[in-house]
Amino acid sequence: MTTSVTPATGTKSAETPTPRPPRRTPPPTGLIVAAGTLLLFVTAMIAPGLLATHDPYALNLADALHAPSFDYWFGTDEAGRDLYSRVVYGTRESLVIGLGATALSLTLALALGSVAALGGRFVAGTVNRVIEVLLAFPTLLFALLLVAITGPSALSQVFAVGVGSAPGYARIIRGQILSARNSGYVEAAVALGHGNGRILRQHIVPNAVRPLVAIITLSVGQSIVWASSLSFLGLGVAPPSPEWGALLDAGRVYITQAWWLTVIPGLVIVALALAATTLGKHIQNSLEKGEK
């Protein structure tokens, strides 16, 4: 705080203190850890050779079922293959399945949710009934049914998980579109004489799609968990693929002899799901603060 002398009286008067700029709050530790974890997974997806220490397909029967050590960080499987390198190389296939299933589910959800919210009474009612029927089936059970029909493969996993999770996201998108359609700014646009196409393009769609940014990050981790569950049940990618669910399926036979074959890939899946969920929650909170 500074003072000044007035010319008339010579007395000192207090000046208004200069406001200090608000301090930037550092990002939470959990967010930093989640971002670093996702960066590591993205690196393994793009350039697995930078992180792998062995050939993921090289057989070494002399070191079969070797426990985790300095030579083999995650141990080896029944054929002597380095589990760490197989997990690294399996990141690409697992993330591609998760991203593909997420893209498919959100595309279907956007189409179903839009029709359910903006269609005519008969069309919207029919789509809503279809969504409710699909929601009556558990997602994993519905995915199992689709894989049983199409046959086990990576493409079948993408299709099954994407279609199985679409109804839940369609319900969310429908609610967002209805909320945006009944908002004050849409009523103001109607009062100003804006056409339906302009209102839909400039007001309803942008505000309804905004929450999808957070949903995408949450859906990727969830899709990978479900796809790995299908592989664990023997309905996913066939061996010797290093896809994480396939590693779980192969390791369960040796669970009493080599716990690391099942526990470590499972922990990797959990780490990715937690990192994606943490990032999604942070994005969602940021969007909600921006709306207030």
pLDDT at 82: 93
pLDDT at 47: 92
Whether 18 maps to a domain, the answer reads no
Q: Is 279 exposed, middle or buried (0-12, 13-18, 19+ CB in 10 A)?
A: buried
* DSSP calls for the chain: --EEE-TTT--EEEPPPPPPPPPPPPPPHHHHHHHHHHHHHHHHHH-GGGT--S-TT---GGGTTPPS-SSSTT-B-TT--BHHHHHHHHHHHHHHHHHHHHHHHHHHHHHHHHHHHHS-HHHHHHHHHHHHHHHTS-HHHHHHHHHHHH-SSHHHHHHHHHHHHHHHHHHHHHHHHHHHHTSHHHHHHHHTT--HHHHIIIIIHHHHHTTHHHHHHHHHHHHHHHHHHHHHTT-SPPTT---HHHHHHHHGGGTTT-THHHHHHHHHHHHHHHHHHHHHHHHHHHHHHHH-
Read off the pLDDT band of 253 (50, 70, 90). confident
Whether 174 maps to a domain, the answer reads yes
Whether 197 maps to a domain, the answer reads yes
Read off the pLDDT band of 223 (50, 70, 90). confident
Q: First CA to last CA across the chain, in angstroms?
A: 34
CA–CA distance, 65 with 143 (Å, rounded to integer): 33
Q: Is the pLDDT of residue 243 over 90?
A: no
CA–CA distance, 97 with 142 (Å, rounded to integer): 17
Whether 17 maps to a domain, the answer reads no
Instruction: Phi first, then psi: give them for residue 14, nearest 5 degrees.
Output: -80, 135
Whether 44 maps to a domain, the answer reads yes
* Residues spanned by the domain of 44: 28-291
Whether 83 maps to a domain, the answer reads yes
Task: Render pLDDT for 66-120 as a digit per residue (tens, 0 to 9).
Answer: 899 998 999 999 889 999 999 999 999 889 888 898 889 888 888 888 888 877 7
Give mean pLDDT, residues 182-193. 75
Task: Render pLDDT for 4-61 as a digit per residue (tens, 0 to 9).
Answer: 454 555 555 455 556 565 566 667 788 888 889 999 999 999 999 999 999 999 888 8
CA–CA distance, 106 with 219 (Å, rounded to integer): 9
How many domains, in total, are found in the chain?
1
Task: Render pLDDT for 206-220 as a digit per residue (tens, 0 to 9).
Answer: 777 776 777 777 788
Give mean pLDDT, residues 265-291. 81
pLDDT at 7: 52
Q: Is the pLDDT of residue 264 over 80?
A: yes
CATH of the domain at 114: 1.10.3720.10
Question: Greater confidence, 182 or 64?
Answer: 64
Percent of the chain with pLDDT over 70: 88
* Amino acid at the residue 281: K
Q: Is the pLDDT of residue 125 over 80?
A: yes
Give mean pLDDT, residues 273-289. 79
Percent of the chain with pLDDT over 90: 16
Longest dimension (CA), the chain: 98
pLDDT at 15: 55
Whether 7 maps to a domain, the answer reads no
Cα dihedral value 158, 161, 165, 166, nearest 10: 30
pLDDT at 267: 93
Q: Using only the alpha carbons of the chain, give its radius of gyration.
A: 27
| Residue 145 CB partners (closer than 8 Å, separation 6+) | 137
Question: Greater confidence, 122 or 73?
Answer: 73
Whether 57 maps to a domain, the answer reads yes
